[in-house]
Amino acid sequence: MRGAAAALAGLVSGYAALALAEPVAAVIRPEAGPVTVVGGAAVDRTPAAVKDWAIRTFGADDKLVLQLGILAVAALLAMALGLFALRGRRTAAAGVFLFGLVGAVAALNRPDSGGFADALPSLTAGLAGAAALYVLTGPLVSFRPQGGPDAGETGADTGTGTGTAAGWSRRRFLLLTGAAAAFGTGAGAVGRALASARSGDAIASRAAVVLPSPVSPAPDLPPGAALRVPGVSPFITPNKDFYRVDTALVVPRVPADTWRLRIHGKGVRRELNLSFEELLARPLVERDITLTCVSNEVGGPYAGNARWLGARLADLLAEAGVRPPSQGGPADQLVARSVDGMTLGTPVEDVMDGRDALLAVGMNGEPLPPAHGFPVRMVVPGLYGYVSACKWIEDIELTTFDAYDPYWVKRAWAPRAPVKTQARIDTPKPFARPAAGRVTVAGVAWAQHRGIDRVELRIDDGPWQEADLATEDTRDTWRQWSYAWQATAGTHTLTVRATDRTGETQTERRAPTMPDGASGRHSVVVMAG
Ligand SMILES: Nc1nc2c(c(=O)[nH]1)N[C@H]1C(S)=C(S)[C@@H](COP(=O)(O)O)O[C@H]1N2
Ligand SMILES: [Mo]
């Protein structure tokens, strides 16, 4: 009983501590919350293969799973410290404070750390947790069955009249524990209210943005570019369905009116420092571009196609005096840095070779959604997101591949990563049971900036059959395809492959996503009947 009470005291102390950190973090910086900073440190230290597995297994829930994992570990540690307090309350309390210190150190070491203030939420949690554990476990150790004052650590507590047969003050313990839990719940609620008031600023800032018309609008979709086949990925991915992959445990909220972008580094003759307003005042172009993630497995969901509005990055670089390596420029790598300290490296040559590399402000007719990089992000056709698509961008440095390894490259991903040609079967779904007879097989294929020229489908071990391709929008976008299959009863394997405009057919050779993107062909098994 006393043990269970001690574990409960630990748990409630931990709860109250983390809850109290919430309003503190909301005032200082939501990104500085103890669970967020420890989670961020964990993300940075997770082996790339595990992270890739987490993205594949938990998808967009990967962050939630991580945070729940941290809370579970914290709960276990808190209960252990509660039990330990039965032997030494001061030492156990010091242990709780130590975890607060760990959080503080993690906070100060975040790449986006805002300085000493970032340590405060964790320090507050450590102090509050230590005090709570000390107080809550008081009634558990301060009263002996024999009666009389306890000569131990809490000599001041006489425990008069509240002792139980078990030798500890149950009523007092329950009162204190209940109060601590209630306090924590209140603090958490205040924290959430403050945080939502704060993110309200960024939301208001986004709502106030009026996107200018492009000087060069995207042409209307050619007729026949969007198939009307149920189950196929829509040609343009709605923002709410667009995949999201990033390391941010809290979506950075960057008000547009304080946003600035600096362009500097090797070979820059005139440093540029742009405000959001100045960026919007430039000639903006609108382009359809398909974005894909290097963590996408063959047949996976991490690809999306949107109509982006933005400034051509090559023009800005030219204005800064940057020349691509092919014209003698000294920098071959452009390192983009986001407000949360993420770094992504892109070949300068690719950005300046005439393709529509954008500093994007709009996505499908609205300002970028916060999760997709509001107010400004990069998008470069033909390159995986981790080497091009910096969200919440605030800095561009011209450097070399030799001189600097950005975030993912430090974690063993390839420094250069053009998108690999891929075709995906969207319908029928794996293990579907279509009626025998005519079944429309359909999906999408992509080879951004090269273009898709052919998609073929094979039933079981039969010959490759040409699929019908939707009309091409641009070579920077995916292409839908469909195939009218006369399904016979039984189990069949459908396999798809695409050929890009260089004439290369997507390889059969399977490669994992690490280090530069998965290869192989997508197959789906169906039971026609
Ligand atoms: N700041 C920041 N930008 C980032 C990332 C990130 O973790 N942080 N992830 C990149 C990766 S791996 C991909 S695939 C794309 C995904 O963009 P989306 O979430 O808008 O689909 O963003 C890129 N830009
Ligand atoms: Mo990615």
Q: How far is CA 453 from the centre of its chain?
A: 33
**What tokens appear for 384 in the block?**
């995986």
- Name the residue with the closest Cα to ligand 1, atom 21: 244
List all residues whose CB is within 6 A of at least one atom of ligand 1: 242-248, 291, 293, 338, 340, 342, 372, 385-386, 389-392
pLDDT tens string for the chain (529 positions)? 889 999 999 999 999 999 999 999 998 888 899 999 999 998 888 887 788 788 778 877 888 888 899 999 999 999 999 999 999 999 999 999 999 999 999 999 887 787 889 999 999 999 999 999 999 999 888 655 544 444 344 434 444 444 444 567 888 899 999 999 999 999 999 999 988 887 777 788 899 999 999 999 999 999 999 999 999 999 999 999 999 999 998 899 899 999 999 999 999 999 999 999 999 999 999 999 999 999 999 999 999 999 999 999 999 999 999 999 999 999 999 999 999 999 999 999 999 999 999 999 999 999 999 999 999 999 999 999 999 999 999 999 999 999 999 999 998 899 999 999 999 999 999 999 999 999 999 999 999 999 999 999 999 999 999 999 999 999 999 999 999 999 999 999 999 999 999 999 999 999 999 999 999 999 999 999 9
**Ligand nearest the Cα atom of residue 290:** 1
Question: 245 C-alpha to center of ligand 2: Å?
Answer: 6
- Domain match, 513 and 448 both: yes
pLDDT in tens, 479-491: 999 999 999 999 9
**What tokens appear for 158 in the block?**
């006489």
Tokens 């959001």 sit on residue: 276
Mutation probe of ligand 1 site: the residue of 391, 392, 409 with most atoms within 8 A of C-beta = 391
Half-sphere exposure of 273 (CA within 13 A, CB side): 2
Q: Which of 422, 352, 347 is nearest to 387 (CA)?
A: 347
Label the pairing between strands 260-265 and 393-399.
Answer: parallel
Distance separating alpha carbons of residues 47 and 132, to the nearest angstrom = 36
121, 187 contact by CB (below 8 A)? no
42 domain-assigned:
yes
Question: 142 C-alpha to center of ligand 2: Å?
Answer: 56
| Nearest atom in ligand 1 to 386's CA | 12
- Domain match, 93 and 50 both: yes
Q: Which of 411, 433, 450 is the last residue of a domain?
A: 411
pLDDT in tens, 175-234: 999 999 999 999 999 999 988 887 777 788 899 999 999 999 999 999 999 999 999 999
Task: Give 423's contacts (C-beta < 8 A, 6+ positions apart).
Answer: 443, 444, 445, 452, 455, 481, 496, 497, 498, 506, 521, 522
Three-class SS state of 480: strand
- Domain match, 303 and 250 both: yes
Mutation probe of ligand 1 site: the residue of 245, 413, 513 with most atoms within 8 A of C-beta = 245
Distance separating alpha carbons of residues 377 and 276, to the nearest angstrom = 12
Q: How far is CA 335 from the centre of its chain?
A: 19
219 domain-assigned:
no
CA triplet 82, 88, 93: central angle to 5 degrees?
Answer: 55
Residue 475 is part of a domain; what is its CATH number?
2.60.40.650
210 domain-assigned:
no
Question: 198 C-alpha to center of ligand 2: Å?
Answer: 29
Question: 387 C-alpha to center of ligand 1: Å?
Answer: 9
Residue 318 is part of a domain; what is its CATH number?
3.90.420.10
**What tokens appear for 262 in the block?**
């600096």
Q: How far is CA 135 from the centre of its chain?
A: 39
Q: Which of 377, 411, 445 is the last residue of a domain?
A: 411
What is the number of domains present in the chain? 3
- Domain match, 430 and 288 both: no
Instruction: Count other C-beta atoms under 10 Å from residue 323's C-beta.
Output: 16
Q: Which of 368, 361, 374, 517 is nearest to 448 (CA)?
A: 517
232 domain-assigned:
no
- Domain match, 358 and 486 both: no
- Domain match, 405 and 426 both: no
**What tokens appear for 367 in the block?**
């300002």
The answer to whether the Cα torsion of 271, 392, 302, 39 is positive or negative is positive
- Name the residue with the closest Cα to ligand 1, atom 12: 386
The DSSP letter of residue 456 is: E
Distance separating alpha carbons of residues 25 and 172, to the nearest angstrom = 32
- Domain match, 81 and 197 both: yes
62 domain-assigned:
yes
Domain, as residue range, for 92: 2-201
